[in-house]
Chains A and B, each alone.
Chain A
């Protein structure tokens, strides 16, 4: 029988007592002990990024992190964003989550909890990222649906909303704008 340990994790601001086999990853504990299934398992070996969570504000792969090694660190999962936003006096989901929803970035959605958390970490350190900044920051999160365009547009939309900027026209919007007068 494998060793089972008991320890404490700080997840989304809550101190959680966890009892789990010592070899379990943070992803397993989040999904199977704490019921936080928003973090996804796509490959279980650190290739896809669907399991990305924030540890002390930095994105980490929960499938490659032993749960026990996360003791004493502040872990944020996708489930933590909306309650934190509400606690801070906001309404609805976190503005970045709303931007992903508004901009069509969520197709199958399976990669998106990891994607949104990577994007959240990017915006914390770089409030107005360029496309190149985004490409760098999201390169550990594979998306199979979108071709990434609408993910970039979602981040740009969230930035534009926060900084009261005019978001740039999407290709099909520019196309429509160009066609309108002639119609």
Chain B
């Protein structure tokens, strides 16, 4: 069922009447509640993958490539196999079938076959009685490599096809290339009153969830393989395991235990999942593999480095006429989600501003570095950084206030973007108003004293996409409800709670719809044996899609409850209201039943009580190849103002405050929404100032530890002010849209723009290290001096 069918024009949560209080009709939605798993996490009771201990469990370790690019001439595992305590050793030939999260680009093996493509590429795996023995066995594996020329600069991969990182591709070392043009861009730019053309660079960054990847597998005597994995997409792991292990999918059960952070970094199927599964099959023992922190850095799948060139034109009054982008994307060694990344780098820029014309030319190439993939704000944080800085450059040329130029180009709501994407609700103007008001932009800008400034930026992001990775017309999300005679309602959802609170979101919706307390609801999630399929926690799809599926299931169940009670009371169903653990007659409030009594009545009248619900997107997207990639049933919008200062002696940047205004449609739980906004902005500021996933000229990571890869501590993190804007989307669950990724985007350009406001330097190359700040300040002084000399001559 699509959301439009579900909610209809008379959705009960339409915009609040003027003068009425918001949320007046809601009992649960719109208020702060604890999470369903909050206390389990607070008390240490929550079970994460590495907390799972099974009897007789073996421990597995991975041997990794020391070469960035090499042929494997020979592998000899006989000595490792002979070591006492070793139960099995795997190499590439144990699992030769290639896989990839995008079905069109399967180019990965669980363990390298014939060649390795980055330092850290998995080559062999050992299962032994303990980690020490497994590590000792790895040292006994002999691998003979023939090193090949390694690519570390994407500009080289673009022009040099040999040696091919992936053989047999007609595109050489190009992973994906997309050129799309909407309208006559060159004409629009040549007729513009002002044009800004510039280069920007986005470095790589990685997710660094505090929980390292971990997987545990066991194989039952009946031939069922069970895998617990720290994954954010159970369903795709399930499919990939069936494919690679050549097992029927019904013989595989994948369970996501409590997950210690993901941010996109646990979206791909990973080597360790296949290895523990295969090792369990071979040994008949449970097998666990926990990656070290260093391995997590090499597994990566983080933000793609991008070389971005933008040319934008505007009229005298600041209206954009056209935007032209050329982007080179460093994909690292495998495809991962790269096909989507390449499209997203262009497709997701076309809001919240109206682009009369637009062109992008994006090319992703392979290099011999850890593979890149989706990190929070997949494919769209990098172009957003470049464009929002360029928009400030345009504003400066036109002597316009940076907030004003953004207002003037607002695309409006219920419209279509230049690339054919449907936009529904759009609260971007309110977002600008909120950050302008809260930061006291008008009073404070330009009056903060030397070295301190304010910067603004905006963005938009998807609430899921209608591109389901593998083509099918089945629902993207399914939910099942089961009612117990005790009054407990169990929700079964394939959705992955990765800390964002999706299980809690399901519970809030069931509580709202059935008028029962949250404590009467249990959520069983992300277990392929028990739960209907959901496509997982990525592209900010969960609240929108799982939320709508949950509402759908609840409405069907509620209909039965209401019918049973109406029959007993001999009244019209419209008079029956489920609220606060009771069922009441709206016309005679002295008449009521408990929810439990109503459940019993309905079970008596109908059958064992339960319901299913589902969600699928409506048909969306532009009518061209790739037009559905980036098409979302609803877009979120964000604006940030950053208050920052620069120490011109040391080049050190201090961020004081970040005001984050985010249009999430409706905040189902404003506290959780605020937490997503703050966490997003933290991650954006972190990659602007501190973090760099940098690979040196030998292919080695410059700092694969949580000390050297500098995650901000509580001392480094600025104050965040979360400001929630609710545009009430007609198709979202109660009007909700996403909140987990959009609010990251503006952090980086708003900071760059604040630094310009503070000290007059445009930082266009991330990250903004003290060395870059000092170099830019020196350059500014020198060009000022030259200008002065020129003036006196």
* Residues of chain A whose beta carbon lies under 8 Å from any beta carbon of chain B: 2, 31-32, 35-45, 47-48, 50, 77-79, 81-82, 92-93, 97-98, 100-104, 106-113, 116, 134-136, 138-151, 170-172, 175-176, 180, 183
- CB–CB B707/A108 < 8 A: no
- CB–CB A110/B209 < 8 A: yes
- The interface bits of chain B over 50-89 (1 if a CB of A lies within 8 angstroms of the residue's CB, else 0) are 1101000000000000000000000000000000000000
- The residues of B that contact A2 with a CB separation of less than 8 Å are 132
With known contacts A107-B501, A150-B675, A175-B438, A44–B34 Cβ distance under 8 A: no
- The residues of B that contact A134 with a CB separation of less than 8 Å are 714
Say how far A51's CB is from chain B's closest CB, in angstroms: 11
- CB–CB A147/B681 < 8 A: yes
Q: Is the interface of A mostly helix, strand, loop or mixed?
A: loop
Cβ 8 A contact of A47, one of B670, B680, B706, B722: B706
Say how far A11's CB is from chain B's closest CB, in angstroms: 13
Say how far A99's CB is from chain B's closest CB, in angstroms: 9
- CB–CB A36/B44 < 8 A: yes
Sorting the interface of chain B by its residue count into under 10, 10 to 19, 20 to 34 or 35 or more gives: 35 or more
Q: Does B361 contact A (CB under 8 A)?
A: no
Q: Is the interface of B mostly helix, strand, loop or mixed?
A: loop
New contact pairs (5) apart from A145-B679, A149-B722, CB-CB < 8 Å = A37-B48, A97-B39, A107-B501, A142-B210, A176-B670
Chain A residue with Cβ nearest B678: A147
- CB–CB B714/A109 < 8 A: no
**Which of B253-261, B398-406, B622-630 is the interface stretch?**
B253-261
- CB–CB B21/A180 < 8 A: yes
With known contacts A81-B43, A142-B706, A183-B22, A106–B210 Cβ distance under 8 A: no
- The residues of B that contact A102 with a CB separation of less than 8 Å are 34, 38
Tell me the bound Cα distance from A113 to B19 in angstroms: 45
Q: Does B507 contact A (CB under 8 A)?
A: no
Number of residue pairs spanning A and B whose beta carbons lie under 8 angstroms apart: 204
List 5 contacting pairs A-B, 8 Å CB cutoff, sorted by A: A35-B53, A42-B211, A93-B43, A104-B672, A170-B674
* Residues of chain B whose beta carbon lies under 8 Å from any beta carbon of chain A: 16, 18-22, 32, 34-35, 37-48, 50-51, 53, 132, 207-212, 258-263, 290, 292-293, 434, 438, 498-501, 667, 670-675, 678-683, 705-707, 711, 713-715, 717, 719-724
Say how far A116's CB is from chain B's closest CB, in angstroms: 6
Say how far B174's CB is from chain A's closest CB, in angstroms: 33
Say how far B147's CB is from chain A's closest CB, in angstroms: 30
Say how far A100's CB is from chain B's closest CB, in angstroms: 5
- CB–CB B44/A78 < 8 A: yes
With known contacts A50-B210, A142-B210, A150-B674, A106–B43 Cβ distance under 8 A: no
Chain B residue with Cβ nearest A134: B714
With known contacts A107-B675, A109-B260, A143-B210, A100–B724 Cβ distance under 8 A: no
Cβ 8 A contact of B678, one of A48, A106, A146: A146
- CB–CB B714/A139 < 8 A: yes
Tell me the bound Cα distance from A78 to B46 in angstroms: 11
- CB–CB A37/B42 < 8 A: no
Tell me the bound Cα distance from A138 to B292 in angstroms: 24
- The residues of A that contact B671 with a CB separation of less than 8 Å are 103-104, 150, 170, 172
- CB–CB A108/B681 < 8 A: no
Tell me the bound Cα distance from A116 to B44 in angstroms: 10
Cβ 8 A contact of A135, one of B258, B261, B501, B714: B714
- CB–CB A79/B438 < 8 A: no
- The residues of A that contact B39 with a CB separation of less than 8 Å are 92-93, 97-98, 101
- CB–CB B722/A171 < 8 A: yes
- The residues of A that contact B38 with a CB separation of less than 8 Å are 100-102, 106
- The residues of B that contact A101 with a CB separation of less than 8 Å are 34-35, 38-39, 41-42
Chain A residue with Cβ nearest B214: A41
- CB–CB B674/A42 < 8 A: no
Say how far A96's CB is from chain B's closest CB, in angstroms: 8
- CB–CB A78/B48 < 8 A: no
Cβ 8 A contact of A42, one of B210, B499, B682, B717: B210
Chain A residue with Cβ nearest B258: A109
- CB–CB B292/A135 < 8 A: no
With known contacts A106-B41, A139-B714, A147-B682, A171–B34 Cβ distance under 8 A: no
Tell me the bound Cα distance from A107 to B43 in angstroms: 14
Tell me the bound Cα distance from A43 to B292 in angstroms: 7
- CB–CB B705/A45 < 8 A: yes
